[in-house]
Each structure stands twice: as structure tokens, then as C-alpha cells.
Amino acid sequence: MRAVGNTAPVDLRIGLIGAGGMGSFHARTLAAMPGVRITAIADAVPAVAEQLAAEVGAESTTDGAGLFVGTDLDGVVVASPDDTHAGLAVAAIAAGMPVLCEKPLATSVEDARRVVDAEAAAGRRLLQLGFMREYDRAHQQLVTALAPLGSIHHVRCVHTNANAFERSAEVVVGQSIVHDIHTIRFLTGQEIVSVAAGATHRPSGAIRHVLVLARLAGGAHATVEYDDAGYAYEVLVEAIAEEGSVLSGAPTRPTIRREGAISQPVGTDWFARFADAYRAQDADWIASIRAGTAVGPTAGDGLAAHAVVEAILDSLRTGGSVQVEAP
Ligand code: ISE
């Protein structure tokens, strides 16, 4: 069934690889946009691909890479498991197809570099990377408020995750802290040159809390306080600049007075917190295909972020300060 309300003539045919939670959201969001049709959905699990394909009126397949060969697609969304992103992104670029690739770009610096090299060989940008916080209102307000305040001395990212399950350091840093790394880079316009990181652990030994102190090329500091808390989801960013400081806003929430106490819900769902940002990102991507120019976070941003991911992991292992290898 096509998404209700989208009866505009179709001018863009979009494919999607990875029909899990994130992929389903992209499919529904894009299918509801005027002139956009999801025509092909790929997932390694046939039933998963078929179910989403039936919902949005697409063909289904288990062969993600097949979407780049002999199809009439105008663009592809990559929302498959992290370690498949780089290979699929390279295939999309080689086919000259615009691609919205979920973050992270890759799970190694080498793979991220392959994507950057593929674009260089293609001679044009084709990839938009899903660092969607750039499209979040609270982050945009932060950028605007900081503009007149002069040089930035410190960016403080506080990222509380509602994951109750245990994750490896590679996943915590590569999948979650990678967002904060990008926030630091896009707020300051500076590269992270060194990091020192430490972690605390759950009684089981699994990683729980990560603290990162980063130094930027221009001399500023940045910190990331990351917690796999389980009980709440919250992302706060504070920047201290020459003439003032700015703390990012959070979505407006009710203040509840009840049984002699005041409370305010925080939420536990990262996806709900950033749903509007994802929608804005997807709309920008579609507009960029029509305009013939890629926009938003780049493959280079993904490569730079992953170089920092690897330096943080190195610091967690060695306990020392680690220089980030300039990608
Ligand atoms: C998740 O994968 C996301 O992308 C969220 O934005 C992030 O805040 C969370 O930590 C990740 O697990």
C-alpha cells in the first residue's frame, strides 16, 4: 500500500537497503513525500524485506548490492548493519547513484577512506552521511546563538543513552559517541587532534560510562560524557565561547505536580527525540537529488569521525593520550 496522501506524479524512484527500525522509518518518511516512490527494498532477511515492501508498494529482494546494477533508481538509502555501509556506499558511488548512508560511514578508517576515494574517483559528491544532529532544531539554535560570541573555548557533550543492554566499547564509541564527535567538529569547524579517554564498567565488566577529553586543532577543548544509563535518553551540548556560553535546549516537556512532588519526563527513546531531525534530513536529501547537488554531512566527515573513534578506542585500551591520525 502506498503511503496515504502521496498522489503527486512520481519523479524520483528510491531504493532502500536494510529494512529494520531505521530503514522502515526512512521508507515511510520518503514514501509520504510528494513525487517520491520507494520502488525497491532489500534486506538480508526475506520476510523483513517483503513486509516493508508490501507496506510501501515496492519490490523486495535480499540482494542489496543488486540495487545498483541495471535499475532505474534515482537514489538509495543505506540503513543496513554498520559493517556493510562502506561497501554499499562505494557501490552506489561507482554506479553514479546519490546515496543517503546511515552513520557510521564505516567500521574502520581503511573502509571509510575507500568511500572518500570512490567519490574522488567519481569526481563529484554523491553521498550524504546520516549525522542527522545537524538537522536538529536544538543544535541549529546552538550554532546560531554561538555565532556572535567569538571563539569557542570548550564544547561539552553530555549523551545519556537508554540502552539497558551491554555493548562493546567499539559499538559504544563507533555508534553512539561518533555523533558527539561530529557535533564537536561541526560546531567548531575544527579537527580533533588528540584524545584521552577513560571508562567505568558495570558489575559484569561491560562498559557503562565513557569520559573523553579532546583537544582541537585551534586550541579549544571538548569533552564527551557518555553514559549507557538505561533509565533515560538525553543529549545536551554546552559551548563556552569568548563572550558568553550557550547550553542547547531540549524538547519542551510538561512539568508535573503530583503527590507532593514536581517531575518532568525526560524520555527514553533516542528515535523519538530526533524524529524531526531525521525527517528534515530526508527532505533535504530528496531536494538535493532534484537539485543535482549533494548536501549535508560528507564522506570526509565520516572518515574524520572514524579516525577519532579509533583514537578513543586506543586511549581506552592504553589509558594514555592518543594523537588522532589525520585522515
Ligand atoms: C543510536 O544508534 C543513535 O543513533 C542515537 O542518535 C544515539 O544517541 C544513540 O546513542 C545510538 O545508540
Tens digit of each residue's pLDDT, the chain (327 residues): 444 456 778 899 999 999 999 999 999 999 999 999 999 999 999 999 999 999 999 999 999 999 999 989 999 999 999 999 999 999 999 999 999 999 999 999 999 999 999 999 999 999 999 999 999 999 999 999 999 999 999 999 999 999 888 999 999 999 999 999 999 999 999 999 999 999 999 999 999 999 999 999 999 999 999 999 999 999 999 999 999 999 998 788 999 999 999 999 999 999 999 999 999 999 999 999 999 999 999 999 999 999 999 999 999 999 999 999 888
- List all residues 6 or more positions away from 318 whose beta carbon is below 8 Å from its beta carbon: none
Cβ atoms of 149 and 241 closer than 8 Å: yes
The pTM score is: 0.95
Residue nearest to ligand 1 atom 1, measured at CA: 176
Residue nearest to ligand 1 atom 6, measured at CA: 270
Residue nearest to ligand 1 atom 12, measured at CA: 176
pLDDT for position 24: 98
261 in helix, strand or coil? strand
Residue nearest to ligand 1 atom 5, measured at CA: 270
Helix pair angle (178-188, 137-146), 10° resolution: 30
- What's the start-to-end Cα distance of the chain, in Å? 45
pLDDT for position 6: 66
Residues with CB under 6 A from ligand 1: 161, 175-176, 179, 270, 274
Which atom of ligand 1 is found nearest the CA of 274? 6
The CA 175 to ligand 1 mean position distance, Å, reads: 6
Distance of alpha carbon 214 from alpha carbon 212, whole angstroms: 6
pLDDT for position 10: 84
Which atom of ligand 1 is found nearest the CA of 103? 4
Helix pair angle (46-56, 21-31), 10° resolution: 20
pLDDT for position 1: 43
CA 292 and chain centroid, separation: 22
pLDDT for position 164: 80
Where helices occur in the chain by DSSP H, the ranges are: 21-31, 46-56, 85-94, 109-122, 137-146, 169-171, 178-188, 270-273, 275-291, 299-318
Which atom of ligand 1 is found nearest the CA of 226? 10
Block residue for cell numbers 550524504: 128
Residue nearest to ligand 1 atom 7, measured at CA: 176
The CA 102 to ligand 1 mean position distance, Å, reads: 11
> One-letter amino acid identity for 15?
G
Q: Residue 76's beta-bridge partner residues?
A: 15, 99
Edge-first strand listing for the sheet containing 244-247? 244-247, 234-241, 152-160, 221-227, 207-216, 192-201, 321-323
- List all residues 6 or more positions away from 313 whose beta carbon is below 8 Å from its beta carbon: 169, 170, 173
